[in-house]
Amino acid sequence: MLALLGLAVSSAWILGLVLSDRWLWSQYLAWIPTVVALPVAFVILVLSSAVALLEEGAAKLTPYARDRRRRRRHIAGAIRVLGWIGVAWMGWTLLAVELNLGARRVSSAAPIGRASSITLVYWNLANWPSPRTVDLVRVHKPDIAVIANAGRDLDQELLRERIDPEADLLEAGPFTIVSRHRLVAWGVTTLGFEGRKFQSEGAPEALRIDPGRAMWVALDIGSGPGREDGRPLVIWIMDLPSDPTLSRWHIAGETSRLLASWQGTIFRRAQDSPPRLDGERPRTEWRADTSLASSGFPKPDVMVGDFNIPRGSHSLRLLTRGFDWSMQSAFDQAGIGYVATWPIQFPLWHIDQTFIADGLRATSYKVVNPRAGLHWLQAVTFGGRDGSP
C-alpha cells in the first residue's frame, strides 16, 4: 500500500509535468510543487522499503503463504522501482530546471540606448498597502518601478521622490509606474474574464470579480547601441485573473488574441504643465489618440507582471511565443536557486514573472520577500544582447 501511494504521488507529478496546463483538469496536477512532491514521495518510498525489510524477518510461514508473500513482494518491489524512477526525475527537474543550476549566465550586457543597463522592479501589492512600500521598492534602486493593485494608501509622490524627483509618474488602471526614463505613450485594457466572486485581498469586506488587466508603456531611452533608430522601449504589464477554476490555457490564449487585436486608445505625451506657484511638481498631460490606434499592443521588449500561471507552464508560450516574436524568461537567463513569489509566507509558485525579448539580455534576476503584502517582489536588470548565447 505504501509503495502504491509513493508511485501515485510520483505519477501525479509526472503527469502534470508532461501534460502541463493544456486542460483544466491537468493544470491542477501541473501545479503540484516539486519541493512538496519530492520529499513526500521520498519519505513514503523509504517507509515502504523499511516495511518490506521488516516483513523479511517475520515468523516462518507455510509454503503457500510464502509463495503469496513472494508474489506480493515482487509486485511491491516493481512499484517501488517505478516510484524511485519518479523521485529521480523530480530530483533532476528540481536541480537542473527549477533551481536553474546548469544555466549559462552573464554578469554584464551591452548598453541599450543611452542606458548601460536598466533595473526594473515589479510588485503586486494585491490591495494590501504597507507604510514601508516606498522604502521596500526604493532600496533596489530601480530605473523603472511598477506597482500593481496598490490601493489608495500608496503615496505616489513620495515614491517618485525617493526614486528620483525628476522621474515620470503614471497611474493607469491598477498600475502605478515611476520611471527615470521619459514616458512617451501608453495604453491599458481590461481583459474581460468572468470568474467567481471572491473577497478582495486588501479589503475583506468587498466582493469582486478579477477580469484581468494588461497595459503597455513606451519609454524614451534615447538612441545608441541596440536603439540606433531611437525607438522606445516597450514594456507589457500583465495582471491575469487569479480564479483557480479558470483554465490557464484559455486565459493565455484569449489574452494573446485580445492583445493582438486591441483597438483601444493610445495616450501620447502632449506636454508638461507649467510649474505651479505652490511648488508642487507639474503633472504630465496626455493626449488621447483614438484615430492613431493601431491593431494590437506594440511589440514588447519586456513583459512583466502577475501571470497567476506558474513558471514553466505550457500556456505561457501562448503569450511569449504566440506572436511573430518570442521572449525568454528572465529567470532562465539570470536567476538561480529556489524562486517562488506566492504565497508570501511560504512561496510555492513562481507566478510573478518577467520575460525578455530576443534582442535583450537579463543579467540579474531575483525575488525578495518584502514582508508586506501577499506577493514577493521582483527585481530584474537587463541590457542589450552582445552576441553571447
Tens of pLDDT, residue by residue over 306-317, are: 999 999 999 999
Which pLDDT does position 76 carry in this prediction? 80
pLDDT band at 357 (very low <50, low <70, confident <90, very high): very high
Task: Band the pLDDT of 273: cuts 50, 70, 90.
Answer: low
Say which residue the cell 474574464 belongs to.
Answer: 193
Share of the chain above pLDDT 90, in %: 63
Specify the pLDDT at position 104. Answer: 75
| Average pLDDT of the segment spanning 287-295 | 70
Domain extent listing, the chain: 2-98, 118-384
Residue 115 pLDDT grade (very low, low, confident, very high; cuts 50, 70, 90): confident
Q: What is the pLDDT of residue 337?
A: 95
pLDDT reported for residue 14: 96
Structure confidence at residue 388 (pLDDT): 44
Q: Please say if the pLDDT value at position 201 is more than 60.
A: no
Please say if the pLDDT value at position 272 is more than 80.
no
Residue 181: phi and psi, rounded to 5, are -90, 140
Would you say residue 130 has pLDDT above 60? yes
Separation of alpha carbons 77 and 63, rounded Å: 20
Q: What is the pLDDT of residue 19?
A: 97
Q: In the predicted model, what is the mean pLDDT of residues 61-80?
A: 73
What whole-number distance in Å separates Cα of residue 235 and Cα of residue 218? Answer: 7
What mean pLDDT comes out for the span 269-287?
Answer: 68
Fold (CATH) for 118-384: Deoxyribonuclease I; Chain A (3.60.10)
Residue 360 has a pLDDT of 92
The mean pLDDT value of the chain amounts to 87
Lowest mean pLDDT among 20-24, 104-108, 296-300, 321-325: 104-108
Least confident residue range of 7-11, 135-139, 187-191, 371-375 = 371-375
Cβ contact 228:191 at 8 Å: no
Other C-beta atoms closer than 10 Å to the C-beta of 204 total 8
Overall residue count recorded for the chain in this entry? 389
Q: Which of 143, 145, 150, 140 lies closest to 177 in space, CA to CA?
A: 145
